[in-house]
Amino acid sequence: MLPFDILEYQNRLRETKERMEEKGIEVLLVTDPANMNYLSGYDAWSFYVHQMLVIIIDESQPIWIGRYQDANGAKATTWLYEENIIPYPDYYVQSSKYHPMDFIADILNEIGHGNRHIGVEMDNYYFSAKAYERLKQKLPNATFKDGDLVVNYVRLIKSDQEIEYMKRAAKIAEKAMKKGTESIRTGVRESDTAARIYYEIISGTEGYGGDYPAIVPLLPAGERTSIPHVTWTDRTFQEGDAVIVELAGCYKRYHVPLARTVTVGNPSKELQKITPIVVEGLNEVLDSVKPGMTCGEMEEVWRKSLQKHGIQKEARLGYSIGLNYPPDWGEHTASIRKGDTTILKPNMTFHLIPALWFDNYGIEISESFRVTENGCETFTNYPRELIIQSPYRIDKQDGKIS
């Protein structure tokens, strides 16, 4: 049932403990669902309630603590002994009176770890301000430490098995991009294209299905291409529209994102002018990647490439990717941007998305890649260009399904 060999989980745990030791953390409370999965295998849409994995530096197994009805899921999806799965009663869920962290603090006290150096994931979505306040109140003898990103940094370099899963995600991303962009024609609703993309992402390939990505397909069209992060509407595509498609294939929670810009009919003069500049910059960055380089140096290659054409835009060009859950497929560790000193190593994996947004249009052409021994290789093999669609609907190409 487990997607990785037990030894791989134990290696991850060992590396996590090494980092805990460096930071003086004896007990790490892991609340990020991706980190929980990474260390234990736990996989369920239960992260909307408080739950965690407790990593104790001198104990061989993590402890899962979560909602009563999710304990069966922990038994089914993790390598933990059943006695290390501790459920809290349902009356703790979203209550004004009871808080799951009170229960968890009691457990930590009971098992003798309430007075130790406890690391918490300070800036994670799933560790709220109140969670922290309740823990501090109930564990007055603990010393709290910032344990944010401790596990995320272990995730930075992928194993061969993780790369294999990302390659599968890449196949799904290619298929979804192909079928999705084919459906972008005059008169087709944005929502129908989004539906088509979602269908392809989840149905995957003949050999394997896909998993839900941590971000929905993004599909700004027309003037909204100047607005990243808006989702689809019921507007129909018009001749002359540009459409940005940003999606990810996902397999066993491993993501490979891919973005392309599409036009319905002939592209605008602006897009015709900017596209070769973006592709050239993207190629130059990919050509430059090699172990030993820093993420900041990658940004410099891009910046200089743009400067040749008189363009100055400062933004993050990309980020580390892999295992994740909503709301973000980025790992929150290495960023491809000015000043990032992360040194590239083989099997680090990134989404390179040097998007440009202007006042009334934008362009995204991206690649996800893995650092190799001598350079890099992209996960997907998809034409690195503006996709120009004939505006007219051709039978069976409107994305609709009977």
- Are 371 and 344 spatial neighbours (Cβ–Cβ below 8 Å)? yes
DSSP-derived pairing of the beta strands 387-389 and 254-264: parallel
Shortest separation between residue 227's beta carbon and a copy of itself, angstroms = 4
Tell me 371's DSSP state: E
If DSSP codes are grouped into helix, strand and coil, which group holds residue 264? strand
Nearer to a copy of itself, 140 or 339 (CB): 339
Provide the 10 A C-beta neighbour count for residue 153: 17
Specify whether the backbone of 16 is left (phi greater than 0), alpha (psi in -120 to 50) or beta.
Answer: alpha
**CB contact set of 24 (below 8 Å; sequence gap of 6+):** 117, 145
Nearer to a copy of itself, 209 or 276 (CB): 209
- Are 246 and 201 spatial neighbours (Cβ–Cβ below 8 Å)? no
d(CA 355, CA 357): 7
d(CA 254, CA 306): 32
Nearer to a copy of itself, 208 or 346 (CB): 208
Shortest separation between residue 40's beta carbon and a copy of itself, angstroms = 15
**In this structure, what token pair is assigned to residue 263?**
């036009």
Nearer to a copy of itself, 13 or 318 (CB): 318
d(CA 63, CA 86): 7
Nearer to a copy of itself, 13 or 271 (CB): 271
Nearer to a copy of itself, 13 or 334 (CB): 334
d(CA 28, CA 55): 5
Shortest separation between residue 372's beta carbon and a copy of itself, angstroms = 26
Shortest separation between residue 172's beta carbon and a copy of itself, angstroms = 10
Shortest separation between residue 356's beta carbon and a copy of itself, angstroms = 11
Hunting for tokens 């891919």 — which residue is that? 258
- Are 346 and 291 spatial neighbours (Cβ–Cβ below 8 Å)? yes
Shortest separation between residue 396's beta carbon and a copy of itself, angstroms = 8
DSSP string spanning 167-186? HHHHHHHHHHHHHHHHT--T
Helix (H), strand (E) at residue 388: strand 387-389
Nearer to a copy of itself, 13 or 363 (CB): 363
Shortest separation between residue 242's beta carbon and a copy of itself, angstroms = 15
Q: In this structure, which amino acid lies at residue 290?
A: K
Shortest separation between residue 49's beta carbon and a copy of itself, angstroms = 8
- At residue 25, φ and ψ (nearest 5 deg) are -105, 125
Nearer to a copy of itself, 97 or 269 (CB): 97
Nearer to a copy of itself, 6 or 315 (CB): 315
Shortest separation between residue 91's beta carbon and a copy of itself, angstroms = 7
Hunting for tokens 């808080």 — which residue is that? 99
